[in-house]
Structure 1
């Protein structure tokens, strides 16, 4: 994978997202496979035609998209963006390419929260990818953290993934530091809010950024968890997330899995 190839994939994926704002079909026609586009956003019908058919409506409601960070892992491109779609939202979109065309798409979208306990926004922070040579090690570390801690397999290892209390948090309801994470989890337990990760579906990483896509329950609702981590010197240093409830079967517009 050359640097230019990475850039090309990011350029195409970004152009497709930005076309949701412009209403112009060129990028979708040029970069999305005409027969083979698998849509995992269950609020949308399958295939490229459905996407093209939604363009006018998206433009009319004033959809806006501003891509803030991108990472490429093999044939996968992850875009982390601010949307205006029935109000300000944060989105993470995943595109899979085959022979230069987009053939598959997953995403999560969440209301943007203005005032967070950490004082960071849900999207700010570093955007430039560092440590390309550490991609595999960082993906391994993050996968181990998700399985050991978020899935609860080895909770006693928690401190080993962090550099003391140095942990920058962009999740909208959690303060900075491991202390902030601990406080938030305690609050959920006290309110008897069920919060559980049950399946890890994807680990996508480039350099110091790693995205995990997980399935679980939040407050009894089947939920998709997209967690984006930044790793520095072998420790988890920063975290963003986008959490979205999974539509019940009767509201789904396609029969593909959410994951």
Structure 2
């Protein structure tokens, strides 16, 4: 499995990316924020409470519906983690302006794969979103796992174009269902797939969708809430339903030469209001 590159190793690429004006100062802020996000997640495993200093205790807004709001909710979450066998291995981490998004191999209360998003203000975390899904016990039909594959962000000058491509794909194909336009987003059948049930290629996706339809299972994207990106990696956060249940879809795409070439996702059923530990909403 690919590990996240050490912070020193990723700094060179991250320093080339900037928020808005592509300045060195902005890029350095992004790198520092990215380091903080990785450190906070890693602290689940290391028990290093020093990472709590990266959270703004007066502003922190929590969107994980199973955790109470604010810094006290986060501390309570840490206090109930198992004493042993906790894992929080960040495989991918990227920055987009005031946001950092990560892709992590977790074993907190059970093995899970998760995406986390942190929003920063003045160097402090002020808001957090995530999506979690149980780790599959075996590779998908093409032998891929939920976490393997490419990790390094490249084509940093193409971030905005790649984000626009993914936003268009989500709206045109996933939301509107205009499948006659799918060729605009892919190079033939070349599409590496990390969804646990789907094989590579558009052919694999078509086969999976046809099977779901035969079983009366619908996957519906109703709204796209957020698109974040760094270079060739773009994360889309959407809301919809899966098998009739309110669902949060986090889709990570890798783009190459203006086409989508690789995909990872985490699909989570949205907790009913009566069971939520905060009132901030999933999105």
Q: TM-score, normalised by structure 1?
A: 0.97
Note the alpha carbon deviations across 1:188-211, whole angstroms, 9 max, x for none: 111001210001000000100000
Cα RMSD (Å) of the superposition?
A: 1.1
For residues 236 and 31 of structure 2, what CA distance do their matches in structure 1 show?
22
Q: Secondary structure at the match of 1:58?
A: coil
Query: 1:158 corresponds to which residue?
Result: 182
Deviation string 1:153-206 (CA, Å, 9 cap, x unpaired) is 532101111000100000111000000000011111110012100010000001
Per the alignment, residue 69 of structure 2 pairs with 46
Q: Counterpart in 2 of 1:189?
A: 213
Q: Which moved more, 1:149-158 or 1:71-80?
A: 149-158
Secondary structure at 1:128 match in 2: coil
Question: Structure 1 residue 85: deviation in Å?
Answer: 2.2
Q: Is the 8 A contact 1:25 1:55 kept in 2?
A: no
Residue 56 of structure 1, CA deviation: 2.7
User: C-alpha displacement at 1:112, in angstroms?
Assistant: 1.0
Alignment of 1:123-202 (within 5 A): 123-202=147-226
Question: 1:134-160 deviations in whole A, cap 9, x for unaligned?
Answer: 001000000000100001253210111
Specify the alignment match of 2:41 in structure 1.
17
Contact 1:221 1:245 in 2 (8 A): yes
Q: Deviations over 1:47-103 (max 9, x none)?
A: 011111222321426321000011100000001010012332110000000000000
Instruction: Give 3-state SS (helix, strand or coil) of 1:125's partner.
Output: coil
Q: Secondary structure at the match of 2:180?
A: helix
Counterpart residue number, 2:88: 65
Q: For residue 99 of structure 1, what is the aligned residue in structure 2?
A: 122
Q: Which residue of 2 aligns with 1:83?
A: 106
Q: How many residues are matched?
A: 258
Other-structure match for 2:267: 243
Which of 67, 79, 85 is the matching residue for 1:56? 79
Which of the residues 44, 50, 63 maps onto 1:26?
50
Structure 2 unaligned residues grouped into runs of 5+: 1-17, 19-23
TM-score by length of 2: 0.89
Cα–Cα, structure 1 residues 51 and 61, in superposed 2: closer, same or farther, change >3 Å? farther
The answer to whether the 8 A contact 2:248-2:268 is kept is yes
Distance (whole Å) between structure 2 residues aligned to residue 153 and residue 243 of structure 1: 19
Structure 1 counterpart of 2:240: 216
